[in-house]
Structure 1
Amino acid sequence: ELQAAVDACAEAKKELEEANVTESERQIEVGTVKANYDDTKLALDKLEERLAKFSAELGELKHQKSKLEEQVDETKLEAKKLHIAIQRIQRDRSNAERAVASLMNKHTWIESEKGAFGLAGGDYDFEASNPDQMSRHLNKLKEEQDALSQKINKKVMGMIEKAEGEYTELLRKRKVVENDKKKIQSVIEELDVKKKSELQRTWVKVNKDFGSIFSTLLPGALAKLEPPEGLEAWQGLEVKVAFGDVWKESLSELSGGQRSLLALSLILSLLLFKPAPMYILDEVDAALDLSHTQNIGNMLKTHFSHSQFIVVSLKEGMFNNANVIFRTKFIDGVSTVTRTIGVGSSVRTRGALDESDSNAKSSKRAATNASRKRQSRSNRLGKENALA
């Protein structure tokens, strides 16, 4: 019995342990189920919150939809009103265009005066005049016209028609004159363009020759013509001079001889633009030294090879470049002229001298020989430069 009790006790203990294990497992399952329940409830709460939010948004959208439908209805109504207004404006525009065409056909002066319509301060300043007031004034004038029509000579209407005809003719002539004026202005503009083009071409050519001539007359110096700052060549030119690389600020810095050479260079460059067959220079070297005089002769031979010069000079430097020299002097109270052909020391002389009887025959023979030689060389000398 004791053994049976022990076995029963052991069996009971074993069952108790199994029951404890089962209870623990159930508690674990309960904890798991509770955790799942909590998660599910939390998810449900979130879904309910989102559902409430969506319900609110849906209500707002329904409200916006109602407002938009009202706006659409209002827009359709406004569009219909605008369509009616546009049709009315188009009718008014058509009526206004027909009225304008009728007025222009009836009153020919409108075509010439319409450019002044609406100008402030003018005769047709519509903003300064009240249309209703002007209409009342017009009606009043018409009433006065009707009242005066009984007292006015009807023949005047014929005179008015004649005056209107003359006025119309004058308008036509004025239009012709205006067209002629436009053509003349067009021609003037074309001539201005050509003038500026020719002045530009002249300036370039004269400026080039001016600098070249001045450099020949005064070696080491430069000269040019250029427009003042901010102006074009056709509006004016200034003379600029440089010695070496230094440009002078003013021509007053030049000496008298330098200014003489500068003026001579400018005059000759202008003459060289459109050369003449012959030039006459009267003592242009009077204020110059011999070296500058020699440079003038060299310059004339270099730049004016196709022209002839008659030069009056008292300096030997000019003679050295002459093809023919005429010398004048007094001998025994009588003026004599000596003609020399050649350059430098190579000369042949023909003189008309009142000398003594002992030299008369030799002078006569010299004149005869020179005359024959001059006759044989006349054709060639006519083509050469004449520097006297």
Structure 2
Amino acid sequence: MARFNLKTSTPKELKEVLQRPAQKASDIMGIVTPIIESVKQRGDVALIEYAEKFDKAVGLKSAVLSAPFPPELMQLPQETIDAIDLSFENIRKFHEGQKEAGTLVVETMPGVRCSRFVRPIERVGLYIPGGTAVLPSTALMLGVPALVAGCKKIIFTSPPRKDGSLTPEIVYVAHKVGAEAIVLAGGAQAVAALAYGTETVPKVDKILGPGNQFVTAGKMFVSNDTGAGVSIDMPAGPSEVLVVADAEANPAFVASDLLSQAEHGVDSQVILITVGLTEEQLVAIEEELEKQALALPRVDIVRGSISHSVTLQTDNIEEAIELSNQYAPEHLILQIKDAAKAVDLVQHAGSVFIGHWTPESVGDYSAGVNHSLPTYGYARQYSGVNLSTYVKHLTSSELTEQGLRNVGGAVMQLAKVEELEAHRRAVGIRLEWLDSRK
């Protein structure tokens, strides 16, 4: 990893260093738009064709696997079942704890009562990536909150294997969260199917889940199409991690955390920010990084990721966290002394992992926090997936006669200013009627 020192680097150099790998939106949309239009017009036929073209799934007869899912499609080693079940419970507990307590009621003035209450999003489509890795963890992270929130219709979509089947881990999670169906599709074609519906794929109200740049572009496209009438969770892209390490950090731990994200894909990015490390300590981390990388089965992917990853040298924790806030990482790992205290300085991050015994991996799988997080700097504006991602807030107003008298004058005056006479009269007619009863 290339090194940069905060003392000797110019602001322009640091800005360039913290820049993610460029993505040409126009080129991506040029590929994605025809795919979306094809699925929109041709439905299941297009999905099956794309499954053969992109996923090499030959002989696929149907684009959807419907519940109840056959037990033979969920045959797993007991240790895998136990791991999924434990993770399911921890994720469920954490998201259950996010439920809002009752309806918010505020009397803004005598006789004027305003309320806010929660309702689940009725139909959700959950994108489970395939590609270079099997990701039942993402099925858990998206499916469990949907179950907890009370979404009536849960639809999974995930790329099929070459024989047209799905990984049994994903089918098992779909069964546990009560998914109605699994669409055998990935990429922009899966997003389109969820957004518009097909002969067998139910249309959904919101699409959630991470994916590559084509999935992200597809989500952005359909969310801007009023004809689709669908929202998305966030514009999530390639995975990334930023590790802050001081002299107390174990070089082996630091290297392992960097590599755990570098192995996601060649477009992933990892950043190390060191705090007051000597040359000897920096070399120790770099040597560990190389040694561990060479032992990984996905070493070629790691090399691609590391090629555009960097080490930034700082003198103190304040400088380090300021750089992290500028970058706004998906995952932020604090391998430093008094890590919990440093969290107060963090302004922008998808999820924070505190201390030497908290690898990012626990968040990816089993701790209970959600791993579907904003990337590409969107942690400045977006939260990661949580229970509120699956609900909407409704508001209500309830006025008494006296309440209308109290607020009516202000309403009529503002309507007059805006020259909306019907608005003004909707209040005025009522007040006239009340006055006539005196």
Normalization by structure 1: what TM-score?
Answer: 0.18
Larger radius of gyration: 1
Normalization by structure 2: what TM-score?
Answer: 0.16
Higher strand share: 2
Which is bigger in relative contact order (C-alpha 8 A, separation at least 6)?
A: 2
